[in-house]
Amino acid sequence: MSPKPQDEKICCPPFEPAPWDDKIIEWVNKPFIKSHVCTFFFMPINFGGVMRKLDKLVTDAGALVTDYLCLSDHTSKWNMDVYLAVDKNIPGAENVTLSGKFYSKVYEGPFKDTEKWCKDYASMVESKGMKIKKWYMWYTTCPKCAKKYGKNYTVILCEVE
């Protein structure tokens, strides 16, 4: 991918991979709001609408999305739960917290490489003597912004023990 002219609208902020690549992150009651996205064989169908609804709830509460972090939990071929990191409790939203030790690894490339990334990630976790408890994916930019930036970063972030 080659970057596009900067005069095109960009809705996603640039992603800086260094703070998230090959890192252990410890969270204690990190606040998120949770919602659900319909998928068709893991491909999101109503992701944009769900994100607009969450953004409105956050904006109306005078809150912030921390690190622009939105974790995806693919619960089946037909459903994906999303967790949007926030700085405070959001009225009208499903407020949840995540706690634990998480291993984070950044990948770059087309989404068709996800299976390859997941195998690499699992191997890396095992080589570090850890076990995966819960998988999350962080798609750091929408497809339009990934095209505009010329990079499509995805972060695999799993709770580990």
- pLDDT tens digits along 85-113: 999 999 999 999 999 999 999 999 998 99
Confidence at 9, pLDDT banded by 50, 70, 90: low
Of 35-39, 41-45, 98-102, which gets the smallest average pLDDT? 41-45
According to the model, what pLDDT value does residue 4 have? 43
User: What is the identity of the amino acid at 69?
Assistant: L
According to the model, what pLDDT value does residue 2 have? 41
Domains observed in the chain: 19-160 (3.20.80.10)
> Quick check: 47 pLDDT over 80?
yes
- Average pLDDT score over residue span 139-151: 91
According to the model, what pLDDT value does residue 100 have? 98
> Quick check: 1 pLDDT over 80?
no
Q: From residue 53, how far is each of 29, 36, 87, 97, 117 by CA, in Å?
A: 23, 11, 17, 20, 30
pTM, two decimal places: 0.90
Mean pLDDT score across all residues of the chain: 93
Q: From residue 2, how far is each of 116, 128, 145, 151 by CA, in Å?
A: 23, 35, 12, 8
Alpha carbons within 13 A on the beta-carbon side of 117: 20
User: What is the identity of the amino acid at 59?
Assistant: T
Report the percent of the chain where pLDDT is more than 70: 94
Query: Where do the H-state alpha helices sit in 2-113?
Result: 47-60
According to the model, what pLDDT value does residue 10 have? 62
According to the model, what pLDDT value does residue 142 have? 86
According to the model, what pLDDT value does residue 12 have? 86
